[in-house]
Chain A
Amino acid sequence: MEKMNFYMLVAGTMTMAVAGGFYIWYVLAQGVLRRSVSANMANTAGGTSSVTMSEQVKQPRHPAAIYAQVVNWVGLVFLGLAVFARWMAVGHAPYSNQYEFGTAFTFSIVLLGLILMRQFRQPTLGAFISPIAVAMGIYVLTLPITLRQVSPLIPALQNPILTIHVGVAIVAYGIFAIGFAAAIMYLLQRDGGEKRTWLPSRAILDDIGYRSVLIGFPLMIVVLVLGGVWANIAWGAFWSWDPKETAALATTLCYGVYLHAHSLKSWSGNRAAWLLVLGFALTIFTFFGNYFLGGLHTYGGV
């Protein structure tokens, strides 16, 4: 099972790299395709605020988008199997060290990416999400081999609250990765003048970023609270300014600033997008915090 977990992780990461390639192909093709569409629109459209709709044109889906999605799903299955195999091998939810946590994080990025791409009908996102997933996969694969060995849980970690705590954190981190991708695309898309045809409009990218926070922010609060509940049971203190929990709080608050910024006219737009970038940077800081922050979270021999 340990071996199977590793091979599935390798396969998943490689598959995601292929999916990323297809997504990028799609984006490149989209540049050409979209340009002709907007030329069409320009011919039919009047200059008024509302546009008269003629017969609705059903655009064919570009084949690269379909290949990319299929390969992405295959990658998801591999990564899902990697998580599952690890679960079976260690006999508990596999998030007790950086290797297990990283595997689950990669899975979560890919899964949530697929869900949001489907919801917003935006395969273009995949070109930005897949590289993040691949980078995370490679990072996990290059971790010291000792972390791959199955070792038993120390007593403090044997608590179902902790399992939920980390599980929810993985979902929150994953969704913030999607928000980050949307923010990068937002910043790449031009504000005025001619918009880049290979990227969705800023309005849609802003919606995706905002949606990621609507999901991730409450989840982060749940993470902090469950951490507090567990600490209260285990150590008798709800909050002790442990470096990793403090980093998680800073991350949450950064998204809190984003929520307020998004509602201010002068702060929505570029500045809000930069807050999403900063928020994800803090997410990564929190994720890697075990290495240099010390405190109660330095478990599992990292």
Chain B
Amino acid sequence: MATRLTGADKREERRRRVASGDMAAPADSGYGIQGRAIPIEEKPHKTPPAPVAPTSQERVSSFGEALWRFFCSVRLAMTLIALIVIATLIGTLLIQMPPELQGDPASRTMWVKGLAPRFGDFTGIMYDLSLFNLFTSWWFKLLLLVLTLNIVVCTLNRFPKMWKQSTQTRMDVGPNFFTHGEYTATIALPVAPAAAEQQLAGVLKRRHLSVRLRQPIAAGKDQAATGAYAVYADRFRYMPLGTYLNHVGIVLIFIGAIWGTLLGNSIKIVDFAVPEGGDRAVGYDTNLMVHSNGFTEVDYPDGRPADYYSDIVLYENGKQVAQQRIRVNEPLEYKGILFHQAFFGNAADIKVTDDASGALVYQSSVSLAYRSQMYGPNNPMGSFSLANGAIQVDVVEPAGPGDPSLRPGQVGLAMYRVTDDHQLWRETLSQNQSVRQGGLTFTFLRERQFSGLQVVRDHGVTVIFIAVACILTGLALVFYFPSRRLWARVESDAGGAIIHLKGQAPRRADLAREMMRIAEHLKAGGATIHAESPAIIEQRELFAEMGG
């Protein structure tokens, strides 16, 4: 169906073509089509095939070039980020292996076997694809690594150009410059060009632009130039460089994460249980010892916890160095090591004596900080070793008041041979009850509570904070200080002056509105608007309709 285009349709059609990039970019602008500061490389330029066979050195350099170009691409960036999004979504929807299992092949296999009813035959494949430990898998790390390379190469590639664009703008431009572009206007003033130029500069300043060029155009440079002026003004011209701060910040995050886990002398103990009145050494390179003066839980009347805290004393080389009541939101910090209140539970005081000599073999509080399947599905469990680690004794308490195998106040003891995990015996004990086994007497003295701490030293966190500051500053500079520039050419015209205006801005930055306001200011000073580009007209229509 052939329809005739009306003027409005043609405008729309043209805007569409400009926006979709069918039309040529102005060659003199250095900006891309939508007034963007950096024309992004859409497709790598294909190097024409060489007429003669390339030498090996040439081949290497062209391979290097191709690789470089590959890593420059913003499309690659989008693809990588999209892949990461998909991976993280899988990671949120699929159950992930608890971190404490990852180091132990046996319990890992057990855990995966438990998934078989849910995923059937796919379980094995899914496990092989690391879908259950996605965030520590090699392919997820590879994605992050390629992304980092992408950012680094892209930044190195574009920085010189961006820097040049921010520092050396072309300020004097020829008359043809004003005939195309998304943001142009022609405005007539009933005064001489010199006065019009004065007026324009005033308006630009009032709109917070810094006027950096006001200069008569030399006669003879082009024929329309007699009595003409060139004006250039801009605002926030360095702000687009914030992009680099942003992307450097992203790279720093990865560095921070690696720093914390690999390079730094980090500490991460997630199951640091200290019984009330007991001590426990931190280990690693520290000479720290944690002593708990007690754990307290305060409940709301409905039984939900209102507050819980541990009173902790810290000793270094036997000397007290810190003392604090630690809560969930109030960890103790000493020399960069943080002691967090993380969990709590019961501990059982166990005494072991040698039947023959009567000597004390073992006496301590055993924190029941783990879970056991020995008696029921979910019994709190702790353990201690005897005979230089050859023997392990597990201590279990009831899973709850309704536990069929253990009554409240009882504990279960089970002894294992560590070499083959063989259970030697198993007994249930009430308070102050003893059991004789293998020439030893085991006594359950009493129950108490333990404080479950998490002990962490992570220098990577500092790097991450710096990274985040970079990212947010960079984004703020780019997003909220919109860079824009404006060129004007003031010519004499039939007894008055005519101003040709053209604006450019990366990310458009409300430029249509800005140009409209400038025109309005000039209009208030007696000017008439001769022509405006469609984008500005559209703004004007909106403001006319909905109020300024």
The answer to whether B91 touches A253, judged by C-beta atoms less than 8 angstroms apart, is no
B contact residues around A120 at 8 Å (CB): 542
Residues of B within 8 A of A156 (CB): 328-329
Among A52, A61, A155, A268, which residue has its beta carbon within 8 angstroms of that of B306?
A155
Q: From A48, which residue of chain B is reached at the shortest CB distance?
A: B531
Whether A214 sits at the interface, judged by CB under 8 Å, is yes
Asked whether any CB of chain A lies closer than 8 Å to the CB of B464, the reply is: yes
Contact A264 B300 (CB under 8 A): no
Do residues B545 and A253 form an inter-chain contact, with CB atoms below 8 A? no
> B42 contacts which of A50, A264, A289 (Cβ < 8 Å)?
A264
Q: Mark B528-543, 1 if CB is under 8 A from A, else 0.
A: 0111111101101111
Q: Which residue of A lies closest to B339 (CB)?
A: A236
Annotate A263-299 by CB proximity to B: 1 below 8 A, 0 otherwise. Answer: 1111111000000000000100000010001000000
B279 is an interface residue with CB less than 8 A from chain A: no
Please judge, given known A-B contacts A155-B328, A218-B472, whether A51 and B479 are in contact too, CB under 8 Å: no
Chain A residue numbers with a CB within 8 Å of B340 are: 233-236
Query: Which B residues lie within 8 Å of A37 (CB)?
Result: 541
Q: Is B252 an interface residue (CB 8 A)?
A: no
Q: Name which residue of chain B comes closest to A51, CB basis.
A: B537
Would you call A236 and B7 a contact (CB within 8 A)?
Answer: no
Question: How far apart are the CA atoms of A282 and B78 in the complex, in Å?
Answer: 17
When distances are taken between beta carbons in the complex, the residues of chain B under 8 Å from A47 are 5, 7, 10
B328 touching A261, Cβ below 8 Å: no
Which chain B residues numbered 14 to 42 have a C-beta less than 8 Å away from chain A? 14-16, 19-21, 32-34, 36, 40, 42
Which residues on the B side are within 8 Å of A269 (C-beta)? Answer: 19-20
A264: min CB distance to chain B, Å: 6
Known A151-B304, A154-B305, A203-B538; judge A218-B328 contact (CB<8 A). no
**Closest residue of chain B to A50, judged by CB?**
B531
> With A and B bound together, what is the CA distance between A45 and B308 in angstroms?
75
Whether A237 is near chain B, meaning CB under 8 Å from some CB there, is yes
Q: 0/1 per residue, B441-478, Cβ < 8 Å to A?
A: 00000000000001110100100100010011001100
Given contacts A154-B305, A265-B20, contact A247 B508 (CB under 8 A): no
Is B14 in contact with A121, judged by CB distance below 8 angstroms? no
Determine if A289 and B92 form an interchain contact, defined as CB atoms under 8 angstroms apart: yes
- Does B191 touch A at the CB level, under 8 Å? no
CA distance A45 to B185 in the complex (A): 15
- Note all chain A residues with C-beta closer than 8 A to B2: none
Query: Contact between B531 and A51 (Cβ–Cβ < 8 Å)?
Result: yes
Bound CA span A65–B508, Å: 28
- Measured between beta carbons, the chain A residues less than 8 angstroms from B540 are 56
Is A46 in contact with chain B by the CB < 8 A criterion? Answer: yes
Task: Determine which of A232, A246, A264 lies in contact with B40 in the assembled complex, contact meaning CB atoms within 8 Å.
Answer: A264
Residue of A nearest to B468 (CB): A225
Give which listed residue, A52, A58, A250, A267, contacts B92 with CB less than 8 A.
A250
CA distance A46 to B7 in the complex (A): 6
User: Given A155-B308, A218-B479, A254-B85, are A59 and B544 neighbors across the interface (CB < 8 Å)?
Assistant: yes
Q: Name the A residues within 8 Å of B472 (CB-CB).
A: 218, 221-222, 225
Q: A residues within 8 A CB of B20? A: 265, 269
Q: Are A250 and B89 in contact (CB under 8 A)?
A: yes
Q: Which A residues touch B135, using CB under 8 A?
A: 241
CB-contact partner of B475 in A49, A57, A217, A228, under 8 A: A217
Please determine whether B75 and A264 come into contact, CB atoms closer than 8 angstroms. yes
Looking at the assembled complex, report how far the CB atom of B118 sits from the nearest CB atom of chain A, in whole angstroms.
Answer: 14
B67-88 to A contact mask, C-beta < 8 Å, 1/0? 0000000110110011011001
Query: Taking the complex as formed, is A3 at the interface, i.e. its CB lies under 8 A from any CB of chain B?
Result: no
B15 cross-chain contacts in A, Cβ below 8 A:
203
Q: Say yes or no: is B186 at the interface (Cβ < 8 Å to chain A).
A: yes
Q: How far is the CA of A243 from the CA of B329 in the complex (A)?
A: 21
Interface residues of B in 503-539 (CB under 8 A from A): 507-508, 529-535, 537-538
CB distance from B12 to the nearest CB of A (A): 6
Do residues A243 and B42 form an inter-chain contact, with CB atoms below 8 A?
no
Given A59-B544, A237-B456, A49:B14 Cβ within 8 A: yes
Residues on B with beta carbons closer than 8 Å to the beta carbon of A145? none
CA distance A210 to B78 in the complex (A): 17
Shortest Cβ distance from A119 into chain B, in angstroms?
10
Give every chain B residue within 8 A of A50 (Cβ-Cβ): 184-186, 531-533
Chain A CB within 8 A of B180 CB: yes
Decide: A253 and B530 in contact? CB cutoff 8 A. Answer: no
Looking at the complex, which one of A41, A203, A267, A289 makes contact with B7 (CB distance below 8 Å)? A41
Q: B222 contacts the other chain (Cβ, under 8 Å)? A: no
**Which of B21, B328, B533 is the one whose CB lies under 8 Å from A265?**
B21
In the bound complex, how far is the Cα of B544 from the Cα of A261, in angstroms? 33
**Is B355 close to A, CB under 8 A?**
no
Tell me the complex Cα distance, A158–B330, Å. 11
Interface check B153, CB cutoff 8 A: no
Of all chain B residues, the one with the shortest Cβ separation from A30 is B545
Instruction: With CB as the reference atom, state the residue of chain A lying closest to B257.
Output: A239
List, in ascending order, chain A residues with CB within 8 A of B327's CB.
155
User: Contacting B89 at CB < 8 Å: which of A192, A247, A266?
Assistant: A247
Residues of A contacting B16 in the complex (Cβ-Cβ under 8 angstroms) = 191-192
Given contacts A234-B328, A237-B456, contact A214 B479 (CB under 8 A): yes
A55: min CB distance to chain B, Å: 10
Task: Report yes or no: B308 in contact with A260, Cβ–Cβ below 8 A.
Answer: no
Q: CB-CB contacts of B478-512 with A at 8 A, as 1s and 0s?
A: 01100000000000000000000000000110000
For B297, the closest partner residue in chain A by CB is A155
Q: Is B314 an interface position by the 8 A CB rule?
A: no
Give chain B residues whose Cβ lies under 8 Å from the Cβ of A52: 530-531
Known: A50-B184, A151-B302, A236-B331. A253 touches B85 (CB 8 A): yes
Is A73 in the interface zone, CB < 8 Å from B?
no
* Cα distance, A194 to B13, chains bound together (Å): 9
Q: Does B476 contact A218, Cβ atoms closer than 8 Å?
A: yes
Q: In chain B, what residue has the closest Cβ to A118?
A: B546
Asked if B338 is at the interface of the complex by the 8 Å CB criterion, the answer is yes
The answer to whether A187 has its CB under 8 Å from any CB of chain B is no
CA distance A41 to B471 in the complex (A): 46
User: Taking the complex as formed, is A159 at the interface, i.e. its CB lies under 8 A from any CB of chain B?
Assistant: yes
B547 at the interface (CB under 8 A from A): yes
Please indicate the chain A residues that have their CB under 8 angstroms from the CB of B331 in the complex: 233, 236
Task: Please determine whether B544 and A241 come into contact, CB atoms closer than 8 angstroms.
Answer: no
Give 10 new A-B contacts, CB below 8 A, not counting A45-B11, A50-B186, A266-B42: A59-B545, A151-B302, A192-B13, A225-B468, A232-B461, A238-B464, A243-B91, A246-B92, A260-B74, A264-B74
Q: Which B residues have a C-beta under 8 Å from some C-beta of A?
A: 5-16, 19-21, 32-34, 36, 40, 42, 74-75, 77-78, 81-82, 84-85, 88-89, 91-93, 96, 135, 180, 184-186, 257, 268, 300, 302, 304-308, 327-331, 338, 340, 342, 454-456, 458, 461, 464, 468, 471-472, 475-476, 479-480, 507-508, 529-535, 537-538, 540-547
Residue contacts A-B, CB under 8 angstroms, 22 given: A42-B6, A42-B9, A47-B10, A48-B531, A50-B532, A50-B533, A56-B540, A121-B543, A155-B306, A192-B16, A214-B479, A222-B472, A241-B135, A243-B91, A243-B92, A246-B91, A247-B88, A263-B40, A263-B507, A264-B74, A266-B21, A268-B19
Interface residues of A (CB under 8 A from B): 37-38, 41-42, 44-53, 56-59, 61, 65, 120-123, 151-152, 154-156, 158-159, 191-192, 194-195, 201-204, 207, 210, 214, 217-218, 221-222, 225, 228, 232-239, 241, 243-244, 246-247, 249-250, 253-254, 256-257, 260-261, 263-269, 282, 289, 293
Q: Which 3 A-B pairs have the closest CB atoms?
A: A45-B7, A50-B531, A121-B546
